[in-house]
Amino acid sequence: MRNIKGVPHKAAITPDYSLVVIISMSKDTSNPSGKIPKDLMVGAQTSEEQEIAEKMRHVKHKIVILSGKGGVGKTTVAVNLATALAWKGHVVGILDADITGPNVPKMLGLEGTRMVGGDKGLEPVLGPLNILSVSMEFLLQSPDTPIIWRGPLKMRVISEFLSKVNWGNLDYLIIDLPPGTGDETISIMQLIPDLDGVIIVTTPQEVALLDSRKAATMSRTMNVPVLGLIENMSGFHCPHCNEVTNLFDKGGGKQAAQDLKIFFLGDLPFDPRVMTLSDEGKPFIVTDAKSPVAKAFQQVVDRLLERLKGQH
Ligand SMILES: Nc1ncnc2c1ncn2[C@@H]1O[C@H](COP(=O)(O)OP(=O)(O)O)[C@@H](O)[C@H]1O
Ligand SMILES: [Mg+2]
């Protein structure tokens, strides 16, 4: 499990020689045995964490898509990134870690599909370009069923998705999160060892930019690298005249990336076809490959791959 920066801690060695870190440094008089209570340990691996580590050992790159706000295009970016990588011939998985608002199945055209259990655990749904997909939606009777769960249950299911799913050997695992820095985000950052890092998606409005700062700060606090920032819907691509008009001040994302010392991966224009194609379950990166938004997205993917090359 990942250590948390800034929390007072003290290292100690357990009898089985696995290193643990005790969060509280104060003497606990209610524990006369002197044994370290399990819930005070950070760093010792439970068997489930070991299972996750074993599964994740077979995944070369693990990339998390994060944002401070909802509706900025995280799922759109996750699905199109997975598709772009699969299109290049990579073996790709996508984990929809938005437990209460799972949208990956719809955007991949997999609505109504069910995940089934096999000899090697829960089998991911095989999507377009052989993308292996896992989502809470694949376990629901109907997409209209609301998930009304508190944090611990959501964390439980994410842990199961990582430890009990037969992911196999993957080149890339893309993880889509709900907005903000809540339970699912913490679970993913804590449970997955060796994350390549997070991609922060934002829109040009000041308020979204402000929230993305929080996402960046959280990643740093949890010792997860930030791979870069994408500014989505940064201008309007008119389907009639083919021109791009800026709806908000241009350059806010780039500026925010500079201020936060984050790599700027690029900006994507607003294009009504992105929405239509997403609703139809057809990722624009292949179904509308010649559009300005697809070309801009391809550049983002190329920059990301360059960065990943530099990391390994
Ligand atoms: N560049 C874009 N142009 C037009 N519509 C977009 C664009 N990016 C995302 N959308 C649309 O905006 C809505 C929210 O996107 P989504 O990916 O679901 O956001 P999030 O996952 O951050 O909540 C969706 O309807 C999606 O189709
Ligand atoms: Mg989403």
Does 4 map to a domain?
Answer: no
Q: What's the confidence (pLDDT) of residue 210?
A: 76
- pLDDT by residue for the chain (312 residues), tens only, comes to 444 444 434 333 333 333 333 333 333 444 455 454 554 445 557 888 899 999 999 999 999 999 988 999 999 999 999 999 999 999 999 999 999 999 999 999 999 999 999 999 999 999 999 999 999 999 987 777 777 778 888 899 999 999 999 999 999 999 999 998 889 999 999 999 999 999 999 988 766 677 888 899 999 999 999 999 999 998 887 778 877 777 666 677 888 898 889 999 999 999 999 999 999 999 999 999 999 999 999 999 999 999 999 775
Host H or E run for residue 121: strand 121-123
Q: What's the confidence (pLDDT) of residue 29?
A: 43
Does 157 map to a domain?
Answer: yes
The distance of Cα 31 from the centroid of its chain, to the nearest Å, equals 39
Shared-domain flag, residues 21 and 152: no
Distance CA 265, CA 12 (A): 41
Q: Which atom of ligand 1 is nearest to the CA of 67?
A: 22
Shared-domain flag, residues 38 and 111: no
Does 222 map to a domain?
Answer: yes
Distance CA 69, CA 207 (A): 9
Q: What's the confidence (pLDDT) of residue 248?
A: 67
Rg (CA), the chain: 20
Question: DSSP secondary structure string, 94-119?
Answer: EEE--SSS--HHHHTT-TT---EEET
List the shell of residues around ion ligand 2, using CB closer than 5 Å. 74-75, 103
Ligand nearest to the CA of 80: 1
Distance CA 177, CA 78 (A): 9
Q: What's the confidence (pLDDT) of residue 27?
A: 39
Shared-domain flag, residues 14 and 81: no
Q: At what angle do helices 206-221 and 252-259 cross, to 10 degrees?
A: 30
Ligand nearest to the CA of 232: 1
* Ligand 1 pocket, CB under 6 A: 67, 70-76, 103, 232-233, 268, 270-271, 274-275, 278, 293
Shared-domain flag, residues 19 and 66: no
Distance CA 301, CA 297 (A): 6
Q: For the whole model, what pTM was predicted?
A: 0.85
Q: Is 147 helix (H, G, I), strand (E, B) or coil?
A: coil
Domain assignment of residue 18, given as a range: 10-42
Q: What's the confidence (pLDDT) of residue 212?
A: 82
Q: What's the confidence (pLDDT) of residue 238?
A: 78
Does 3 map to a domain?
Answer: no
Does 188 map to a domain?
Answer: yes
Shared-domain flag, residues 18 and 100: no
**What is the tally of structural domains in the chain?**
2
State the CATH number of the domain containing residue 75.
3.40.50.300
Q: What's the confidence (pLDDT) of residue 44?
A: 57
Q: What's the confidence (pLDDT) of residue 207?
A: 62
Q: Is 215 helix (H, G, I), strand (E, B) or coil?
A: helix
For atom 14 of ligand 1, the residue with the nearest CA is 71
The residue whose CB lies within 8 Å of the most ligand 1 atoms, and thus the one to mutate among 76, 104, 211, is 76
Backbone angles phi, psi at 281, to 5 degrees: 75, 30
Shared-domain flag, residues 38 and 102: no
Shared-domain flag, residues 19 and 131: no
